[in-house]
């Protein structure tokens, strides 16, 4: 379970939003809805432990019984997927997936995990290809599986469907849903697009904006 208690963010001025309290069970997808510029992406970066210049934060984060808000990013075990897939252009599709694997996974085990991820993505046989030859939806699936191969205990999604058409949006949303349930991951998806509320969502919370 991912829990936020009295989370409040600011940049030295008024808080961006009212204190947020949130609980997401393993396998559950929660959409946090708010207009652009409301601080949604900043909230995800704070949860993941990514430094943001000038940010002042209050509140606590609990993940699977661990309080993680004081831990560095690499110890939080939180996966974050951005709006763009951000695949490495100098690596093949398979090596992009392999980048997400823990360093301890080597040899045949590494090859097997990559092949399994390609199967889940429905992209068997493309491991040696240049990622730029993939469609936008295929790149999004690879980026998602790369994030999951790092074995996070929670998944954060920053409007990951924004560049996709409706068919590809539905496809990747269903993949998120199936993987969240399979891995028992709490998923927090931030968006201002009402289509995200309608797709593979368990609950929706409106971020209360201060102003």
Question: How does pLDDT run across 58-93, given as a tens digit for each residue?
Answer: 999 999 999 999 999 999 999 999 877 789 999 999
What ranges do the domains of the chain cover?
Answer: 2-88+151-206
Decide: 160 and 180 in contact? Cβ < 8 Å: no
CA–CA dist 130, 138 (Å, integer): 12
Q: Could you tell me the fold of the domain covering 2-88+151-206?
A: Rossmann fold (3.40.50)
The Cβ of residue 142 has, within 10 Å, a number of other Cβ atoms equal to: 25
- The Cα 161–Cα 211 span in angstroms is 28
**Burial (Cβ within 10 Å: 0-12, 13-18, ≥19) of residue 23:** middle
DSSP letter assigned to residue 17? B
Q: Could you give the CA distance from residue 76 to residue 50 in angstroms, rounded to a whole number?
A: 10
Q: Is the pLDDT of residue 164 over 80?
A: no
Check residue 211 and give its pLDDT: 56
pTM: 0.91
Q: How far apart are CA 152 and CA 207, in angstroms?
A: 25
Cβ 144 vs Cβ 81: under 8 Å: yes
62 SS3 class? strand
Least confident of 12-16, 75-79, 146-150, 154-158: 12-16
Q: How far apart are CA 130 and CA 96, in angstroms?
A: 10
Whether the per-residue pLDDT at 114 is higher than 70: the answer is yes
Hey, what are 83's tokens? 């709006």
């Amino acid at each position: 379970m991912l829990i936020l208690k009295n989370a409040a963010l600011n940049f030295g001025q008024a808080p961006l939003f009212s204190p947020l309290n949130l609980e997401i069970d393993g396998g559950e997808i929660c959409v946090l809805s708010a207009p652009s510029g409301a601080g949604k992406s900043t909230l995800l970066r704070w949860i993941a432990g990514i430094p943001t210049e000038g940010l002042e934060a209050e509140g606590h984060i609990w993940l699977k019984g661990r309080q993680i808000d004081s831990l560095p990013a690499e110890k939080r075990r939180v996966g974050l997927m951005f709006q763009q897939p951000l695949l490495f252009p100098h690596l093949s599709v398979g090596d992009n997936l392999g980048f997400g694997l823990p360093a301890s996974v080597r040899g045949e085990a590494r090859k097997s995990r990559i092949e399994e991820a390609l199967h889940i993505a429905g992209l068997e046989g493309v491991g040696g290809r240049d990622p730029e030859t993939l469609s936008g939806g295929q790149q999004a699936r690879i980026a998602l599986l790369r994030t999951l191969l790092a074995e996070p205990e929670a998944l954060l999604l920053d409007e990951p469907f924004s560049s996709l058409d409706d068919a590809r949006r539905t496809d990747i949303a269903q993949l998120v849903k199936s993987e969240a349930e399979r891995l028992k991951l709490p998923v927090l998806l931030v968006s201002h697009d009402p289509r995200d509320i309608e797709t593979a969502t368990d609950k929706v919370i409106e971020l209360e904006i201060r102003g």
